[in-house]
Structure 1
C-alpha cells in the first residue's frame, strides 16, 4: 500500500536524554535525507552526518543516520532514523525542520506500526504483542509478549484456519462431485473427526486466557481477617515501606489499598482490606463489602488471624484458593499444636515467616501459569472471536444439518479466526488497536 505523505516523530524516550532517535517513514524520506545531510548513506549502515537547515544552511546537529530502503524496513516504506543529541532545543529544531518539508507531517499515535500492518510486515496479533512488549513491567510480561511478537500465536491461528479451509473444501467437494470416482465418500469421517479435535483445542486455548490475565494484569492476592489481625502490618512488611496506616484502633483500614510486587518476574498485586466483623459502623460496613467482593475475585486469599487473640470470622463464602496465616508470633509462647492450625506463622516485628510466605505466593502464581498452555490468547478481543468461532464449529458438528449448512459453519469459523490476525476484513478494529501505541511507534 502506498501512502502519499511522509511521517516523522521522536521514537525514543522522554527528554532531555543522552541520545534522541527521530524516525521518518514515507515517500519523501530519501529527499529529506539528501536535502539535510548531502546524500543517501548505504542501506542499513550507520554514518555520522551533520544535519543542515534547508533555509539558511545552519547546522542543527550532528549525529548518526541510518537508512532502510523499502520494502525491507519496519513499515515497508523508505525509513530513516536520526540519532541526535537528546536536548529539548535540538529535538524541537529537528522536528520543526523535518515537518517543514512538503508532504511531511508529524505521526499519529501508532502510525508507524499501522503502516507496517497495512504493508504486510505485521499481523494484528503481532502488533498487539508489540504494544505489550513496549509496556512490559516484569520479565514474565516481557517473555510472554516477545513470544507472541515472534509469531507463535499467529502460527497457531493460521494452522487452525488452514485446517478449516481444507475441511470445508473436502466437504464441498463431496457435495458437488459425489458421483466422481476420485472423491471418496469416506472423506467426511476423517474431516469431521479432525474438526471435533480442533473444537477441543480451541476450547482449551480459550481457558488459558486466565493465565494470560495473570501475566499481564498480575496475580491478585487479597489479605482478609478480623480487625487488628495484622493485615496492614503484613502489607507494609511485603512492600518494605509504610504503605498502610497501622494503629491499635480497630477499623483503621476502611478502603482497599494495593501494592505491586515482582516475585520471580511475576507481577503480584497485594490488597489490604477492612477488618471483617459483625455490627460494623456504616462507613466500615462499606469497606467490609468491598473486602468481600475483592476476596471473591482474588486468585489467592491470605486469611490472617491474631494468634495472641484469635477472633472468629466466617469465611465459608470464600470459593477460591486461600492460605491461613497466624500473626503476631512474637507475642505468644511456642506451641506446636497451635502452629499446626496455620499454614504459616509470622511476626511482622522480627520478620519471621515473611520470606516463606512470599515464596508460597510465588509458587501459587507459578502453578496457575503452569496449568495453562504455552500459547495463550492475550486480548479479550481474541477470546470473543474464539468463542464465536467455537460456536460455529460446534454447530458444524450437528449431523442433523445438511452438509451445505455445515460447510457454511466451517466458513464462518475460519473467517472469525482470520479476524484475530487481520487476515479477514478488520477495518473497524484498526483505530482502536493502534491508538494504544505511543507516538513514534
Structure 2
C-alpha cells in the first residue's frame, strides 16, 4: 500500500500518543493507552522499571509522576512490542483505578514526557490502518461495533471488523487484477507471439462471472445498511384508531399523549427501540383526515412523508369499522384498500403490517374472514394481540435486516455501495468494449478504474500486484 501523509499528519503519526481508552466517567478500572517510539520511556519513567517487562504480561506496579516523584496510583502495566500490537508500534497500557482524579493525574504525568501528545479521535485506529493491521472495512466495522446498540448490530459489526467483508472485496480485487494483468500483457507482448492463445476470451468470461457475483451482492435489499442505521417504522392511520397507544405499548412507556379527542398527535413522535435484537426508529404520526387547522395540516403532511420514507409501515385501522364496511359493501380485502385510498396512502404490501385495533369492540369473529394481507388484530384496552404483533413485527425486521453471516457479508455503508456500483459500471463498459472490438487500451482502462474502486473500498490501491502477476504468470521473452 502506498502511503502519502502530509507534514502535520506525518508528525503526529511518528510521534507518541496517549489517551484514556476505556469508558468515560467514574469506573472500577480505567485503561490508558500509549503508542509510539517513546512508549518504553513512558513505561520506565512512570514505573521506575529498569528493564522492559515481558511482552503481554501484566505486572503490578506503583505509578509515579516523573517530575515530582509523587505516587499517583497502583495498578497493572502491560507492554506490547512492535509490530505485534494493535497499532503496529510499541504500545503500553496502564490499568488503573477509574476515578476522574486518578485518570487526570496519569494523563498529566504522561504528557510531561518529551514528544508525547494527547491522541486525537481515531488516532490509534488510524495508526493500525496505516501500519496495515486493518483495512478500511475493518476500521468501519470497529466503529460500528463501538456504537452498536442491539444484538444484530453487534453481530454484523463484529463480522465486518473480523475482515469477512474485506476478504470478499480482496478476492474480487485479486480476480480483477489478474484479468487486468492479462490484458496489459496482451497489449504489450501479443505481437511477439509470447502470449498464450485465448487470453482475452478467458478474461471476458472471468469478468462476466465477476459481474454476476457483484450484481448479486448489490441486490441485497440494503439489509446491511438498514441494520446498521436502524429500521424506520412509521405508524399511520386515521385519527383516534389507537396509533399512539400502540407506540406506547411497544415502547413500554407513555412516550405519546393519549386522549379520547381525535387529532391529539400533531407532530411526529419518535422512539428508539430494540425489538428482538433489531434496532427500530418507531414514529407515531398525526391522524390522516381532511383538516382546516394549519398546524394539523402540517402534521398530516409530515405523517405522509414519514410513511413514504419508512422501511416498514404499521397501518392502524378501527377493526369494527373495517368489518362493518366489509359486511355491508365489498369484502374484507377491498375494505382495506378503500381505507388506504381514504388515507391517501400508497404502501408496498410487502413492507406493511395492517393492525386492526379495538378488537374488543368487534361483534363478529375475525376468523370468519380470510385475507391474503398481513393483518394483526389487537386491543390496546385489553392488550389482546400484542404478543402476535411483536412476533409479526420481528419477522418483518428479520426479513428487512437479514441475518449477519460470514458466508454472505452484506454492504453496510453507502460508501461501499457507491464504489461497488462504480466498479460494476466500469466492468460493463469493459465488456461492451470487448463486444464491439474497441481499442484494447480503452478496455484496459475500464478494468483499471473498476479495480481502483475496489481498492477504495479497503483503502489498498497499488500497482505492485499487477507487476507481480505479469512477471509470474506469463512467459514473456526468452
Q: Which residue of 2 aligns with 1:434?
A: none
Q: Does 1:5 align with 2:34?
A: no
Q: How does 1:163-182 map to 2 (within 5 A)?
A: 163-182=175-194
Q: Does 1:241 align with 2:273?
A: no
Q: Does 1:359 align with 2:359?
A: no
Q: Which residue of 1 aligns with 2:137?
A: 125
Q: How does 1:238-317 map to 2 (within 5 A)?
A: 238-309=250-321, 312=339, 313-317=342-346
Q: Which residue of 1 aligns with 2:173?
A: 161
Q: Which residue of 2 aligns with 1:82?
A: 94
Counterpart of 1:142 (choices 133, 138, 154) is 154
Q: Which residue of 1 aligns with 2:355?
A: 325
Q: Does 1:15 align with 2:52?
A: no
Distance, in Å, in 1 between the alignment partners of 2:24 and 2:343 is: 51
Which is helix-richer, 1 or 2? 2
Preserved contact between residue 209 and residue 383 of structure 1 (Cα < 8 Å) = no
Q: Does 1:336 align with 2:362?
A: no
User: Per the alignment, do residues 138 and 270 of structure 1 end up closer, same or farther by CA in structure 2, a change over 3 Å counting?
Assistant: same
Deviates more, 1:150-159 or 1:164-173: 164-173
Cα deviation for residue 382 of structure 1 reads 1.4
Q: 3-state SS of the aligned residue for 1:73?
A: coil
Deviates more, 1:146-155 or 1:275-284: 275-284
Distance, in Å, in 2 between the alignment partners of 1:405 and 1:395 is: 10
Cα deviation for residue 162 of structure 1 reads 1.0
Distance, in Å, in 1 between the alignment partners of 2:138 and 2:20 is: 22
Preserved contact between residue 4 and residue 103 of structure 1 (Cα < 8 Å) = no
Q: Which residue of 1 aligns with 2:450?
A: 413
Matched pairs, number: 425
Q: Which residue of 1 aligns with 2:474?
A: none
TM-score by length of 2: 0.85
Preserved contact between residue 174 and residue 185 of structure 1 (Cα < 8 Å) = no
Asked which structure has the greater RCO (Cα within 8 Å, sep 6+), the reply is 1
Deviates more, 1:302-311 or 1:195-204: 302-311
Distance, in Å, in 1 between the alignment partners of 2:314 and 2:183 is: 55
Counterpart of 2:417 (choices 342, 365, 383) is 383
User: Per the alignment, do residues 325 and 340 of structure 1 end up closer, same or farther by CA in structure 2, a change over 3 Å counting?
Assistant: farther
Q: Which residue of 2 aligns with 1:347?
A: 379
Preserved contact between residue 78 and residue 94 of structure 2 (Cα < 8 Å) = yes
TM-score by length of 1: 0.91
Q: 3-state SS of the aligned residue for 1:223?
A: strand
Cα deviation for residue 339 of structure 1 reads 5.7
Q: 3-state SS of the aligned residue for 1:389?
A: helix
Cα deviation for residue 379 of structure 1 reads 1.7
Q: Which residue of 2 aligns with 1:95?
A: 107
Q: Which residue of 1 aligns with 2:118?
A: 106
Q: Which residue of 2 aligns with 1:437?
A: none
Q: 3-state SS of the aligned residue for 2:271?
A: strand
Q: Which residue of 1 aligns with 2:440?
A: 403
Q: 3-state SS of the aligned residue for 1:323?
A: strand
Distance, in Å, in 2 between the alignment partners of 1:339 and 1:326 is: 13
Preserved contact between residue 178 and residue 185 of structure 1 (Cα < 8 Å) = no
Cα deviation for residue 308 of structure 1 reads 3.6
Q: 3-state SS of the aligned residue for 2:399?
A: helix
Cα deviation for residue 157 of structure 1 reads 1.0
Distance, in Å, in 2 between the alignment partners of 1:334 and 1:260 is: 36
Cα deviation for residue 369 of structure 1 reads 3.5
Q: How does 1:413-432 map to 2 (within 5 A)?
A: 413-424=450-461
Q: 3-state SS of the aligned residue for 1:51?
A: strand
Q: Deviations over 1:77-113 (max 9, x none)?
A: 1100000011111111111111011101111001011
Preserved contact between residue 25 and residue 100 of structure 2 (Cα < 8 Å) = yes
Distance, in Å, in 2 between the alignment partners of 1:137 and 1:9 is: 24
Q: Deviations over 1:133-165 (max 9, x none)?
A: 111111111110111111111111111111111
Moved over 3 A (4+): 1-4, 179-182, 308-312, 336-342, 369-373
Cα deviation for residue 264 of structure 1 reads 2.1
Structure 1, unpaired ranges of 5+ = 426-441
Q: Which residue of 2 aligns with 1:433?
A: none
Cα deviation for residue 335 of structure 1 reads 2.6
Deviates more, 1:327-336 or 1:63-72: 327-336
Q: 3-state SS of the aligned residue for 1:31?
A: helix
Structure 2, unpaired ranges of 5+ = 4-9, 326-338, 463-478
Distance, in Å, in 1 between the alignment partners of 2:137 and 2:24 is: 28
Cα deviation for residue 197 of structure 1 reads 1.8
Deviates more, 1:21-30 or 1:290-299: 290-299
Distance, in Å, in 2 between the alignment partners of 1:153 and 1:245 is: 44
